């Protein structure tokens, strides 16, 4: 039996600001992100295995992505911790807001790279991350493919 790709989709709301950017996105704003996670592997062929025929249980993949991405980023605001936005972040945190201070400019491109590393670290050894698609708006998205990296 050959390799099969399976995909699970997730939605979350996240705010961010792009420090130093020359457009509107320098202001704090938010997106309704859609994340598609595709993994690749061989379906289980052991007839005594409870997950016979599955590459990975969708529930197991969901648990990984929820813990690593959605639960952390949903309704949080992401700032680059190496910018003056750190002062705003501290004020928001002091007021009880969920804030993520990232090592990077929180663009979709950089977020999808971060997400790939987080997910890959949690996948079983026989399952590989194939691709991620992080959709920021109806017409804009960033993609990460293992084959490109």
Q: Averaged over 125-135, what is the pLDDT?
A: 97
Instruction: Reply yes or no on whether 67 is catalytic.
Output: no
Was 31 annotated as part of a binding site?
yes
pLDDT at 104: 98
The catalytic position among 25, 49, 67, 130 is 25
Was 49 annotated as part of a binding site?
no
Instruction: Reply yes or no on whether 109 is catalytic.
Output: no
Instruction: Reply yes or no on whether 49 is catalytic.
Output: no
The catalytic position among 13, 49, 67, 75 is 75
Q: Please determine, for residue 105, whether its predicted confidence score (pLDDT) is greater than 70.
A: yes
Q: Please determine, for residue 84, whether its predicted confidence score (pLDDT) is greater than 70.
A: yes
Distance in angstroms (rounded) separating the CA atoms of residues 121 and 86: 28
pLDDT at 27: 95
The model's pTM is 0.96
| Residue pLDDT, tens place only, 14-69 | 999 999 999 999 999 999 999 999 999 999 999 999 999 999 999 999 999 999 99
For every residue of 28-80, DSSP letters joined together read -EEEEEEEEEEEEEPPP--TTSTTTT-SS-HHHHHHHHIIIIIHHHTTEEEEE
**Among the CATH numbers 3.30.479.10, 3.40.50.880, 3.30.420.10, 3.20.20.80, which is that of 4-145?**
3.30.479.10
pLDDT at 100: 98
Q: Which SS3 state, helix, strand or coil, does residue 17 take?
A: coil
Was 29 annotated as part of a binding site?
yes
Q: Please determine, for residue 77, whether its predicted confidence score (pLDDT) is greater than 70.
A: yes
Domain extent listing, the chain: 4-145
Integer CA distances (angstroms), 78 to 35, 44, 104, 108, in order: 16, 39, 10, 11
**Residue 20 CA to its chain's centroid (Å):** 24
Q: Averaged over 94-116, what is the pLDDT?
A: 98
Q: Averaged over 106-115, what is the pLDDT?
A: 98
Q: Which SS3 state, helix, strand or coil, does residue 91 take?
A: helix
Confidence of residue 102 (pLDDT cuts 50, 70, 90): very high
Q: Please determine, for residue 1, whether its predicted confidence score (pLDDT) is greater than 80.
A: no
């Amino acid at each position: 039996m050959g390799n099969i790709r399976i995909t699970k989709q997730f939605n979350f709301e996240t705010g961010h600001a792009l420090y130093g950017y020359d457009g509107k996105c320098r202001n704090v704003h938010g997106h309704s992100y859609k994340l598609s996670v595709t993994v690749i592997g061989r379906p289980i062929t052991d007839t005594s295995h409870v997950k016979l025929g599955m590459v990975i249980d969708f529930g197991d993949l969901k648990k990984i992505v929820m813990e690593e991405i959605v639960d952390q980023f949903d309704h949080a605001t992401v700032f680059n911790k190496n910018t003056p936005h750190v002062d705003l972040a501290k004020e928001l945190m002091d007021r009880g807001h969920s804030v993520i201070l990232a090592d990077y400019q929180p663009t979709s491109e950089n977020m999808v790279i971060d997400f790939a590393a987080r997910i890959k670290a949690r996948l079983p050894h026989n399952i590989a991350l194939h691709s991620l698609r992080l959709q920021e708006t109806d017409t804009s998205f960033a993609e990460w493919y293992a084959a490109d990296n």
